[in-house]
A and B are shown apart, each in its own frame.
Chain A
Amino acid sequence: MEDIQEFSEIKFQGIKINYLYICKRKLWLFSKNITFESTSDKVLLGKVLHEYSYPKENTKEVLIDNLIMIDILSDGSIREVKYSSKMKEADIMQVMYYLYYLKQKGIQKQGIINYPKEKRKEVLKLTPEYEEKVKQALKEIEEITTKSIPPPAQKQKICKSCAYFEFCWG
């Protein structure tokens, strides 16, 4: 019960969990709607991939509670489609969050991450350890996004392919 109460207080879009593991500054900016995705070719590539992969699935892009977007929903699993496996940890945590979210609603599923370009997939089950990790992540997102100024920019390898690159470093 305590768990559910706590959960209902902090709910976030799945992409925020993903960003938490990629770049905390990006997470903060995104939470303030400061986004530059519309100008990024990389983002466009991702969109096209989502559109053209798995054309036979008819439960694509299912929005739950107006909050989390499941790429593909089927009987036993939820599937997330990603462009590359470079950010695997972030991808795993995003799916774990979805599994955790569904579990709170009494739905048990397994998660699959598809990397169609690499012809690879990752099958995930929500373990108690991951559940704990998700809860920690939600708290951390809460802390970061309620700060009044963004975390300072820190140069990482991935910066150069980020839609925020010119914003952070220009």
Chain B
Amino acid sequence: MQKSLYLTSNGRLKRHENTLYFEIGDEKRAIDIENVEQIHIFGEVDLNTKALNYISQYGIILHFYNYYGFYTGSFLPRKKNVSGDVVVRQALHYLDREKRLFLAYCFVESAVYHMMRNLRERKEAEAFLIAIEDEWEKGRFNISNIAELMGLEGRIRNIYYQSFNQFLPDDFAMEKREKRPPTNPINALISFGNSLIYSHTLSQIYQTQLDPSISFLHEPSEKRFSLSLDISEIFKPLIVDTVIFKLLNNRQLELEHFDEDLNYCYLNQEGKKIFLKEFQNKLETTVRHRQLNRNVSYKGFIRLECYKLIKHFIGDQIYSPLRAWW
């Protein structure tokens, strides 16, 4: 499998002849460029166009994050697999109200399914699971536009996040979900994880013919590559949240792994390393796929969602979002 590389140290990415190095002070580490798909940069890293040109020859994507671990942006090499046909048809699905709502609904449905899946085995959260089911069954047949769908999703997500207090350690209690800025550790973790899943999804979209700026649940006018936000909805509960639960319940992450500034909370370097390691393990974990009869990694499942969307757009097969069956 093509690897993701996470650079948490400060240093310099450098091309010397036909090798890419990451230099930390006097230490020089060679990067196996043939087997790298994407590089995530968390530290203070210098690089020049010589390195960028070399990196882009291999189609490697660079994702940048700021000091606090928030996504800054990506360097995407020139796209090789462009299909005007797919893009035009993708846009047609956005322009048609019904078609757009169908896809938006699919993303939310899968996200809710995975949220419920996360709570199903936890006795402490049973009341919250029932509340989510009620809300979903009551709301899902009365949706006539995106705003209503977003509203329903927001209400469900609120209940879902509140349930965390039932089964996470007490020192990681959360009153409510806060994004900008996250003011407590659990919000910081969710934000960090969501940044990661966003950039990983973008990497997968980028390998296909989909246009990352034409989205359905989110508005394409949002500042980001909003198709990545759409597809991320499916994988946030499936990947990010399960990683958080594991790290906190196994006491691998403690309060000492967080720094606080005024009303700002974020993972420190050690905390980031722990999170990234577990996150990457999760992405590489494989599940036997029933139709393919092959092992597919969690990362692979993100790619398969992209494939299913292409098939939907070209009129081959109606999109049916992932519902983790394992």
Residue of B85, B289, B303, B315 near A33 (CB, 8 A) is B85
| A4: Cβ under 8 A from any B Cβ | no
Q: How far is the CA of A169 from the CA of B303 in the complex (A)?
A: 13
Task: Let me know if B311 is at the binding interface, CB within 8 A.
Answer: yes
B127 near A: Cβ within 8 Å? Answer: no
In contact, A170 and B83 (Cβ under 8 angstroms): no
Q: Are B291 and A169 in contact (CB-based, < 8 A)?
A: yes
Q: In the bound complex, do residue A149 and residue B315 qualify as a contact, i.e. CB atoms below 8 Å apart?
A: yes
Residues on the B chain within 8 Å of A150, using CB: 314-316
Q: Which residues of the partner chain A approach B292 to less than 8 Å between Cβ atoms?
A: 165-166, 169-170
- B314's partner among A149, A166, A170 (CB-CB below 8 A) is A149
B315 touches which one: A38, A39, A148, A169 (CB < 8 A)? A148
Q: Which residues of A contact B84 (CB under 8 A)?
A: 33
A32 touches which one: B86, B294, B300, B311 (CB < 8 A)? B86
Task: Count chain B residues whose beta carbon lies closer than 8 angstroms to a beta carbon of A.
Answer: 25
Expressed in whole angstroms, the Cα–Cα distance for A64 and B208 within the complex equals 29
Q: Fill in one digit per residue for A17-38: 1 if any B CB lies within 8 Å of its CB, else 0.
A: 0000000000000001111101
**A167 an interface residue at 8 Å Cβ cutoff?**
yes
Contact A32–B307 (Cβ < 8 Å): no
Name A165's closest neighbour in chain B (CB-CB): B292
B83 in contact with A38 (CB, 8 Å): no
Proximity bits, B296-311, A CB within 8 Å = 1, else 0: 1000100110011011
Do the beta carbons of A34 and B209 come within 8 Å of each other?
Answer: yes
- Least CB distance, B310 to chain A, in whole angstroms: 7
The answer to the question of B59 belonging to the interface, with a C-beta cut-off of 8 Å to chain A, is yes
Neighbouring B residues of A32 by C-beta, 8 Å: 83, 85-86, 314
Is the pair B82, A33 in contact by a Cβ cutoff of 8 Å?
A: yes
Q: Is the CB of B85 within 8 A of A170?
A: no
A167 near B59: Cβ-Cβ < 8 Å:
no
What's the dominant secondary structure at chain A's contact region? loop
Q: How large is the interface on A (under 10, 10 to 19, 20 to 34, 35 or more residues)?
A: 10 to 19
Q: Which residues in B have their C-beta under 8 angstroms from that of A167?
A: 307, 310-311
Kindly supply a per-residue 1/0 record for chain B positions 203-222, scoring 1 wherever the CB is within 8 Å of any chain A CB and 0 otherwise.
00001010000000000000
- What 0/1 pattern do residues 122 to 134 of B give for CB contact below 8 A with A? 0000000000000
Contact with A along B78-101 (1 / 0, CB 8 A): 001111111000000000000000
Give Cα A35 to B81, complex, Å: 7
Give chain A nearest CB distance to B303 CB in angstroms: 7
With CB as the reference atom, state the residue of chain B lying closest to A150: B316
B316 and A38 within 8 A (CB): no
Q: Contact: B307 with A166, CB < 8 Å?
A: yes
Among residues of A, the one whose C-beta sits closest to the C-beta of B80 is A38
Let me know if A106 is at the binding interface, CB within 8 A: no
Do A33 and B83 touch across chains, with their CB atoms under 8 A apart?
yes
Q: With a CB–CB cut-off of 8 A, which chain A residues contact B209? A: 33-34
A128 part of interface (Cβ distance < 8 Å):
no
Q: Which residue of chain B has the shortest Cβ distance to A164 in the bound complex?
A: B307
The 3 A-B residue pairs whose C-beta atoms are closest, nearest first, are A33-B83, A149-B315, A170-B304
Q: Which residues of B contact A (CB under 8 A)?
A: 59, 80-86, 207, 209, 289, 291-292, 294, 296, 300, 303-304, 307-308, 310-311, 314-316
Having A33-B85, A152-B316, one finds 17 other A-B pairs with CB under 8 Å, namely A32-B314, A33-B82, A33-B84, A34-B83, A34-B314, A36-B81, A38-B207, A149-B314, A149-B315, A150-B314, A150-B315, A166-B296, A166-B300, A166-B303, A167-B307, A167-B310, A170-B291
